[in-house]
Amino acid sequence: MKHLRASAAALCALTLTLTLTGCGQDRTTPDATNASVPPTVVDEVTAPRAATETGTLPDPRQSPLLRAQNNDTSAARARLGAAYVPQGRSLSAQALPAGVQTNKVALKVLILSSGAGDYGLAEARNMLGESGVPFDVLDASSQPLTPDALIGPDGVGRYQGVILTSNALLLPPDSSGLMPSALDSSEWQTLFEYEKAYGVRQLALYGYPGAVPEDYGLRAVAGAETSTTSMTPTAAGRSVLSDLTTANIPVRYAYSYPATVASVPGVTTTPLMTDAQGRVLAATSTSADGRERLLLTTAQNPALLHTQLLSYGLVNWLTRGVHLGEHRRFLQVDIDDWFLAGDHYNASTGGLYDKAFRISGNDALAVRDQQSRIRSDYPLARNFRYAMAFNGGGARTDVATLCTTLFTGVAKDSLSSASKCLGNTFDWVNHTRDHQRMDVTDFATADAQLADNFAIGTRLGLTISRQSLVTGEHSGLGFMDPTDDGTHNDGVYQHPKQDLGLERSNPNLLGAAVQNGIRYLASDHSVASQRDDSCPTCGVLHPLNPGIFLVPRWPNGVAYHVTTPAEATGYYNSVYGPQGRFPYWDHNLSYNEFLNNESDMALSQVLDGAAFPHYMHQPNLREYGWGKSLATDWVQALLTKYAQYSTLPLNTLRWDDLGAYLERRTREEKAKASGDLSGVYDRAAGSVTLQSTASVPYTLTGSASGELYGTARSQQGTVSGAATLAVTPR
């Protein structure tokens, strides 16, 4: 750790600190029983009419939101107190080196961390990762902050923005009981001088409204500290955080210091977010030397709603709307097992009905109408489209095309007849012909399952995403019964599945997929080996076959074999209710409570900006009431919440386009992480120069041309060597 020396004057200063242990009687520990944490049922679909068990269920205590509430560095326990800035070796900042080019900065952000136990680091990384913004992390507790760390040898600034995980970067208490800043006084001055000279903005993710290490023009309201409040954007806040509506945003499980604006010579403070009493929770502030700063007086965590809603706007403010990468949001909903009959849960007995369930042609036509109403009722999802993962082995191709419910009752197979009418209504995705488990199938079987299903879909007139595949149970990717010998591919598995890794994938499936023109293969986001935790918005290039790219999908709590609200809640409560197999809730949830918790989880996943589908199953499409189905109820609950807070459109792509988008983003993110793609913003020229060591894709937000999303344009292309693009900073 760097040597720290405190001056007598500095010992009197007050600013924030993070207390990571108990905080006396005012310690806030959320009640997990009543916390709004939606556990997720991982649904392992089995063959039709075969299974009586959905397999291993996740521990709801592993919910990211619950961990955010209850872990030792919870934002709800983040208390601020007495601290000081140690005196540096020099009384002033180190002089800027000769030859500085103050109009030029690299398109990269510097995160300044206070070292071990810095809970704010996770949010800093997460918010930049969501938008694809490159960053470096400097551990200020062990690494010195020098001009060389901020300015390159060519005089170009290394960073376009600076994030402080907390505004004073405090360390644990010293022998005096006070908490020293990880930066000494000369290092702070060096940072401030860099920000001033290069016009770099500074974002403090959490801070006490005081005067150390610098004054933001805010003062804490005595006795107003709380871990439960709400925040609403001011008119200025709507300008800075342009994606937000005027709705109150709940702040739960995060300690807050409501503040008032103080008159400070040379400082101009503008509130952005206020609580119900009009007290400030976020503000921009211009210092006496002209630097632009933004301070949040509420603790942040990547799993909390207020943090997720603020992140997009904060990144755009910090980077002046010009940065590598982009943040988009998606609503992709897959429905598996179309054409197949499957298990049907009996809410009265807790078992299964003797008769398997298959949606009717009327149900299918009703889904068409529900999809149309979603588009009209929710303008932010105007291009929403269900993706139907179909199993052609359950279809008949020798039927008439019927587009009205008046005639489906006399059809040979009403679902097949209606599907012919709906060929262009949905996105159709290959789900194999018969839903066989593909963990150990031979090549000929895998090839037939894929090729035959494409042929059946073509005869039915379905518009199919030809490069995409969803296998039954996401099988063939190494999450399997380790003793599986292939003799039960159309029945229940014999032992609990285990994550054996992608290296245990079935090479016959992968080869057959490539032979049939398939590039994009659905994987299960709840299985660790089938996602990339180093890049939460990336897919996965399969390690055994570079011709296959994995698209992770989100599970949810709508079980695969339920068709009505009573069945949905009956099964869910049999798992997580007080008498369930994994008791979690203190009471059995009603359907409204169930939807509320499910949409909370889905909203969190949508706000993260990853282009990953959610998936349900054909029984969830039953029209249990006029214009109603479980799947559409889920979509509407999510969209109602989303539209309450955000104005950003939700994208829905056909599976082939979704896979291509995700693969492109993954290549770009990996190129930035390895240093193969970078950029420099020239303020004077109004342009960005991109550099690459190979031919790689790029996305530039803030470009003068390109596609408009929200209030920002982003331009995509491929760069090999260098390219210069015009930008329009905010």
With a pLDDT cut of 70, the percent of the chain lying above it is 87
pLDDT tens-place string over residues 511-536:
999 999 999 999 999 999 999 999 99
User: Average pLDDT for residues 167-191, to the nearest whole number?
Assistant: 90
Residue type, 335: I
463 contacts 424 by C-beta, under 8 angstroms: yes
* DSSP for 120-152, written as a single string: HHHHHHHHHHHHT--EEEEETTTS---HHHHB-
With a pLDDT cut of 90, the percent of the chain lying above it is 81
> Using CB atoms within 10 A of its CB, is residue 155 exposed (0-12), middle (13-18) or buried (19+)?
middle
Q: How far apart are the first and last CA of the chain?
A: 39
Q: Is the pTM for the entire model greater than 0.85?
A: yes
Angle of helix 414-421 relative to helix 361-377, nearest 10 degrees? 40
- C-alpha 607: how far from its chain's center? 5
Taking alpha carbons only, the member of 273, 244, 303 closest to residue 645 is: 244
pLDDT tens-place string over residues 641-693:
999 999 999 999 999 999 999 999 999 999 999 999 999 999 999 999 999 99
Which DSSP letter does residue 411 get? S
Can you give the pLDDT at residue 88? 85
CA distance 252 to 274: 15
User: Average pLDDT for residues 185-204, to the nearest whole number?
Assistant: 97
pLDDT band at 454 (very low <50, low <70, confident <90, very high): very high
489 contacts 436 by C-beta, under 8 angstroms: yes
Which DSSP letter does residue 62 get? G
CA distance 398 to 421: 14
Can you give the pLDDT at residue 697? 98
User: Average pLDDT for residues 58-83, to the nearest whole number?
Assistant: 55
For the chain, domains (ranges, CATH) are 75-323 (3.40.50.880), 330-655 (3.20.20.370), 675-726 (no CATH)
CA distance 430 to 704: 40
User: Average pLDDT for residues 353-364, to the nearest whole number?
Assistant: 96
400 contacts 460 by C-beta, under 8 angstroms: no
pLDDT band at 7 (very low <50, low <70, confident <90, very high): very low
Residue where the block lists tokens 């559409």: 632
CA distance 528 to 515: 27
Q: Hey, which residues does 110 pair with through a beta bridge? A: 136, 162
The CA-atom distances, in angstroms, between 431 and each of 42, 194, 428, 469, 657 are 18, 56, 9, 6, 17
Average pLDDT, rounded, for the chain: 89
Can you give the pLDDT at residue 119? 79
CA distance 110 to 161: 6
Return the exposure string of 101-127: e unless at least 16 CB atoms fall within 10 Å of the residue's CB, then b. Answer: bbebbbbbbbbbbbbeebbbbbbbbbb
CA distance 331 to 388: 14
